[in-house]
Amino acid sequence: MRATKKTVGKEDEMKTKAVRLYGVNDLRLEEFELPEIKEDEILAHIISDSVCMSTHKAAEQGTAHKRVPADIAENPVIVGHEFCGEIVKVGAKWQEKYKEGDKFVIQPALNYKGSLAAPGYSYKYIGGDATYIVIPHEVMELDCLLPYSGDAFFYGSLSEPVSCIVGGFHANYHTKAGSYVHEMGIKEGGKAAILAGVGPMGLGAIDYAIHCDRKPSLLVVTDIDSARLERAAKLLTVEEATKNGVRLVYLNTAECEDPVKALRELSGGEGYDDVFVFAPVKPVVEQGDAILGRDGCLNFFAGPTNAAFSASFNFYNVHYASTHIVGTSGGNVDDMKESIAMMSDGRMNPAVMITHVGGLDSVIDTTLNLHKIPGGKKLVYTNIKMPMTAIADFAVLGKTDEKFAALAEIVARHNGLWCAEAEKYLLSHSEEI
């Protein structure tokens, strides 16, 4: 059965199916009515959403999460914030700027009047894990509804996590001796390290680091999982990095007698200008601190669920070596525009981040158990039924299922990666939700 956009009529145009959060670990897939859009709102059809660990945290914490409203038991919110879709109906206020049929992505970090409220965490009628949504006025007022023209919707979904990576690189800063001016961004031509760096976001960071306009000369990527390191080295090669002027080194710190010593030796003994910590693990944070060079900036990228999480930091070096720390939890509109541009012109291929694909019916189990499911990004197509399935399992499943056999053949032609061809096939050969 073909999974396609439904015809919008007077009787059913406001029907949606969505996953909503009611409380701690209380997610429900429901069908309900959306309100008629106001003159300053937009009705949209969601095609894809990728599941973020932040959504898992929101489900785990419920109203204790800073972005989740206190009244979700009575007014549940639609989850998911990494989504891409098509505009269905435009309120009068926005008809000069947006048109029906336009593809779009959303920057969910609105920061509207200082509020932490964001699509996928805080709203009754907008979130990525839905078939149809109502986009509220503040999204358009802040220019957070962005046009998207890519040949696959999943790239649009990944533009949000990629924008978080872009924002992290821009948030780092450096100083000059005798000056109080902060120079924003990683040190161009400097030495950079990405610790615990071969998860989905780490892979995106490697891709960005070797293809962006402000590159390090040395990039060391660590992890303790040899299989993940091998996959990263296969997809984001040393040769590709060298071609772009970056010396790329993958290091399994579990195999090092003294990881800090090994990392500092790779830097020539000087330490690193920019260190990114991609796991909220105390020893990893402290390892990052220990390898900072003079004026080194540590970016604590991966947010913890424990509000009391802490780690030691060497304040002797803060005083005498000007080491410092920043934390980033998302990108802004400009970061998202940069991520879309880099994907559109082929400089980045965030498909390396995706290891699983499923339908809307897979969202609840995937979100609640995300920390237990190995691999990278979990991609959801919101208008179909399909268990969350590892791309690596397509070939085996294809022995008894024609659809998976075809998908296995398609991804094999694309270095084992999800791709536009696979998306089109899946959407045309899947049962509608």
| pLDDT tens-place string over residues 337-372 | 999 999 988 899 999 999 999 999 999 999 999 999
* Contact status, residue 186 vs residue 172, Cβ threshold 8 Å: yes
- Alpha-carbon gap, residue 119 to 81, rounded angstroms: 6
- Alpha-carbon gap, residue 215 to 129, rounded angstroms: 35
* Per-residue pLDDT band at 11 (split at 50, 70, 90): very low
* Phi/psi-derived region of residue 143, left when phi > 0, alpha when psi is between -120 and 50, beta in every other case: left
- Alpha-carbon gap, residue 123 to 137, rounded angstroms: 12
Q: Cβ contacts of residue 43 below 8 Å, gap of 6+?
A: 8, 13, 14, 34, 37, 87, 88, 89, 90, 132, 133, 134, 135
State the DSSP H helix or E strand holding residue 48, giving kind and residue range, or none if neither: strand 42-51
Residue 299 has pLDDT above 50, yes or no: yes
Question: What are the φ and ψ backbone dihedral angles of 87, each rounded to 5 degrees?
Answer: -75, 135
DSSP state at residue 375? S
- CA proximity to 294, closest of 190, 180, 179: 190
Q: Cβ contacts of residue 113 below 8 Å, gap of 6+?
A: none
- Alpha-carbon gap, residue 45 to 134, rounded angstroms: 9
pLDDT at 302: 87
- Alpha-carbon gap, residue 251 to 271, rounded angstroms: 16
Enumerate domains of the chain plus CATH numbers. 15-149+349-427 (3.90.180.10), 168-327 (3.40.50.720)
Question: What is the arithmetic mean of pLDDT over 82-97?
Answer: 97
- Alpha-carbon gap, residue 202 to 358, rounded angstroms: 22
Question: What is the arithmetic mean of pLDDT over 231-239?
Answer: 96
In the numeric block, the tokens 């965030």 are attached to: 350
Distances (CA, A) of 355 to 32, 70, 134, 176: 31, 34, 30, 42
pLDDT at 38: 97
| pLDDT tens-place string over residues 14-60 | 899 999 999 999 999 999 999 999 999 999 999 999 999 999 999 99
**Based on the number of CB atoms within 10 Å of its own CB, is 234 exposed (0-12), middle (13-18) or buried (19 or more)?**
exposed
* Contact status, residue 108 vs residue 335, Cβ threshold 8 Å: no
* Per-residue pLDDT band at 165 (split at 50, 70, 90): very high
| pLDDT tens-place string over residues 273-289 | 999 999 999 999 999 99
- CA proximity to 107, closest of 167, 190, 194: 167
Residue 9 has pLDDT above 60, yes or no: no
Residue 10 has pLDDT above 50, yes or no: no
* Per-residue pLDDT band at 402 (split at 50, 70, 90): very high
pTM, 2 dp: 0.90
